[in-house]
Amino acid sequence: MKKKFNIAVVGATGMVGQKMLEVLAERDFPIDHLYLFASSKSAGKEVEYRGKKYIVEELKESSFDQDIDIALFSAGASISKKFSPIAASKGVIVVDNSSAFRMDEKVPLVVPEVNPEDVEWHNGIIANPNCSTIQAMLPLKALHEKYILKRVIYSTYQAVSGSGVKGYRDLKEGIQGKDPICYPHPIAFNCLPHIDDFLENGYTKEEMKMVNESRKILHAPSLKVTATTVRVPVFYGHSESINLEFERSFKLEEVRKTLEEMPGIIVMDDPKNNVYPLARISENKDEVFVGRIRRDESIENGLNLWVVADNIRKGAATNTVQIAELLIEKQLL
Amino acid sequence: MKKKFNIAVVGATGMVGQKMLEVLAERDFPIDHLYLFASSKSAGKEVEYRGKKYIVEELKESSFDQDIDIALFSAGASISKKFSPIAASKGVIVVDNSSAFRMDEKVPLVVPEVNPEDVEWHNGIIANPNCSTIQAMLPLKALHEKYILKRVIYSTYQAVSGSGVKGYRDLKEGIQGKDPICYPHPIAFNCLPHIDDFLENGYTKEEMKMVNESRKILHAPSLKVTATTVRVPVFYGHSESINLEFERSFKLEEVRKTLEEMPGIIVMDDPKNNVYPLARISENKDEVFVGRIRRDESIENGLNLWVVADNIRKGAATNTVQIAELLIEKQLL
């Protein structure tokens, strides 16, 4: 008989939390007991999982006194900062979807197809990378292994669901002319070069997440990376224009084959038949879609890619659940 | 007394043609007689200019037998290919907004703030560059003069009005769930990495326009340029993420000052106060908005910019009218 586990979802009523439950059910995750936590505001709400109703409990320090094997956190960085160490100290393994611990040297940052070995050295907390980083890691890892990355230039086209229900609302109501609440400017029919807060160096935190997390996940601490991250009027699915420079020369056909062979990637690249990755095609899919594969003639060993994934699934919920699955597979749970 | 000119607008009922009339009126262009031409389908329509009604005439070879000084063409490449040489042979100076002659060595390709000197060697036809190229040329020229460009990487976020009324319709009705007519995929809540036709090298024509036109306008035939051009669900205003590499080192404050001093540019770059260029702010403006000015630390002398302009105005109608004004200023008309 397959062993079953006691699972907690922290932030169970949020957009990502809800998607985590959907993904856990779809993938038939071996759950014995399911605990759902949220803020006091959402506590008491009823949430369904596989036809059974659960009452959402208020998240407290004592929540983790219960017999929980693994807790999937998606309740924001401040909640994670406070409660993840408490959970870990009580023997719960935390997979944290916030930015709180991603760059902590003692915390692995994992994309299961890319650096599964990193879950092995966890100390109770494993971080799930930023959505825009996760999807880029699959093609970059596949190609880095073969051609060695020198430089990465990201320009992103990110969906409003990355900001949760408020971002979704801003677009939905914005197209009817309502003022934004979540964003400082209207997102409807507009592109905002502004995701997360601005830093002293003129970059946003989102941009620096892409820079720093890419290096950590690829184990390439001196990889040259720059990013411009942009919110676009799309509900689901982040798109990315990625310009790459490699140490080694490549044949375009080899690049395509390498990408096709990478688990988790679907190559969609038949432009003459209008086949290329699209945000709306990525919706509710777990794969990363890669297309517009073409040589950048402006530099030696240059390559342009267009990479799309559902930011709430592969960019958040699915990757988190995959990390939990990996822990089971490696008998670390 | 100021001399007045006989002006023809070819494609007068189209989106850009209409905007040309608006811009001519706003700028008080010295018009004596105004001729409006369009296809037989639109001939006979009434169009207003400064409170006076004009009947749109069908475009014919004989149209240019009339006393016309300058013809502003915006009726697509095939119309331009056929009728521009006829007009020119009859002594009419053509300013052509199509792609028909842009890369013709005998035809100057002009952005008035950037390469005004090129109008002087025209042979009857002057080409207006592609919308996404025009707006990039202003900051690139200003910086190229000072620091010498080595490499340019464009990722664009282009408005549907670049496809004319059909593109506009696809977005407007697409948000209500209607199927697209203009584009091969829904543009509502989606990003299409596909503008104009695909070429054998995997690039779109739009991408290669940005590469080739940038080199021609900047008089930098071996400039290294690559592009990924993307249609986004925005009505008006193209946004561009531009990554630059220069020969010479720079101070960021100098870069900002250089951009501020360039005619036609408005620097909007106060991110801490949420001030940066936006498509919706660019609507109906003639300037190019530049912001998110920041050093790209991944390379020596690297810079990232975010550049936005109204694609129908500075990207098309305004630039065309400015070329006509330049011809007057230089007494070439």
pLDDT, one tens digit per residue, over A262-309 is 999 999 999 999 999 999 999 999 999 999 999 999 999 999 999 999
* Domain spanning B132-311, CATH class: alpha beta
Q: Which residues of B touch A306 (CB under 8 A)?
A: 193, 228
For residue B230, give the nearest of B180, B174, B190 by alpha carbon. Answer: B190
B141 vs B298: CA distance, rounded Å: 23
Q: Are the CB atoms for B254 and B241 separated by under 8 Å?
A: no
The percentage of chain B sitting over the pLDDT mark of 90, rounded to a whole number, equals 99
Q: Are the CB atoms for B130 and B216 separated by under 8 Å?
A: no
Q: How far is CA B66 from the centre of its chain?
A: 28
Q: Which residues of B touch A199 (CB under 8 A)?
A: none
pLDDT digits (tens, 9 = 90+) for B94-128: 999 999 999 999 999 999 999 999 999 999 999 99
B114 vs B265: CA distance, rounded Å: 11
For residue B220, give the nearest of B144, B296, B154 by alpha carbon. Answer: B144
Instruction: Report which residue type is found at B253.
Output: E
Instruction: Report which residue type is found at A295.
Output: R
Q: Is B103 on the interface with A (CB under 8 A)?
A: no
Domain with CATH 3.40.50.720 in chain B: 5-129+316-329
pLDDT digits (tens, 9 = 90+) for B139-154: 999 999 999 999 999 9
Domain with CATH 3.30.360.10 in chain B: 132-311
Return the CATH superfamily for domain B5-129+316-329: NAD(P)-binding Rossmann-like Domain (3.40.50.720)
Give the contacts of B226 (CB within 8 A, at least 6 positions apart): A243, A296, A297, A298, A299, A302, A304, B152, B153, B154, B207, B211
Give the contacts of B155 (CB within 8 A, at least 6 positions apart): A155, A228, A241, A243, B227, B228, B230, B240, B241, B242
pLDDT digits (tens, 9 = 90+) for B192-221: 999 999 999 999 999 999 999 999 999 999
The catalytically annotated residue of A33, A131, A182, A194 is A131
A99 vs A78: CA distance, rounded Å: 9
- How high is the pLDDT of residue B2? 61
B149 vs B240: CA distance, rounded Å: 17
- How high is the pLDDT of residue A1? 46
Q: Is B82 on the interface with A (CB under 8 A)?
A: no
Q: Verify whether the Cβ–Cβ distance B155 to A155 is below 8 Å.
A: yes
Residue A179 burial by Cβ neighbours in a 10 Å radius (0-12, 13-18, 19+): exposed
**What stretch of H or E contains A176?**
none
- How high is the pLDDT of residue B139? 99
Q: Is A304 on the interface with B (CB under 8 A)?
A: yes
Q: Which residues of A touch B222 (CB under 8 A)?
A: none
Q: Tell me the two tokens of residue B117.
A: 């000197």
Q: Are the CB atoms for A182 and A170 separated by under 8 Å?
A: yes
The alpha-helical segments, DSSP class H, found in B48-204 are 77-89, 131-147, 164-174
Residue A331: left (phi > 0), alpha (psi -120 to 50), or beta? left
Q: Verify whether the Cβ–Cβ distance B191 to A232 is below 8 Å.
A: yes
Of B175, B228, B234, the CB nearest to A306: B228
Q: Are the CB atoms for B316 and B23 separated by under 8 Å?
A: no
Q: Are the CB atoms for A172 and A178 separated by under 8 Å?
A: no
A22 vs A50: CA distance, rounded Å: 9
The pLDDT confidence band at residue B333, using thresholds 50, 70 and 90, is confident
Return the CATH superfamily for domain A5-128+316-329: NAD(P)-binding Rossmann-like Domain (3.40.50.720)
- Extract the annotated binding site of A: 13-16, 41-42, 102, 158, 161-162, 231, 311
Q: Tell me the two tokens of residue A47.
A: 């949430």
B21 vs B74: CA distance, rounded Å: 12
Q: Is the pLDDT of residue B1 over 90?
A: no
Secondary-structure breakdown of chain B: helix, strand, coil percentages, each rounded to the nearest 5:
35, 25, 40
- Residue B296: phi and psi, rounded to 5, are -90, 105
A166 vs A160: CA distance, rounded Å: 8
Mean pLDDT per 10-residue run, chain A (333 residues)? 88 96 98 97 96 97 97 97 98 97 98 98 98 98 98 98 96 98 98 98 98 98 98 98 98 98 98 98 98 98 98 98 97 88
- How high is the pLDDT of residue A300? 98
Residue B85 burial by Cβ neighbours in a 10 Å radius (0-12, 13-18, 19+): middle
Q: State the pairing for strand pair B149-157/B224-228.
A: parallel
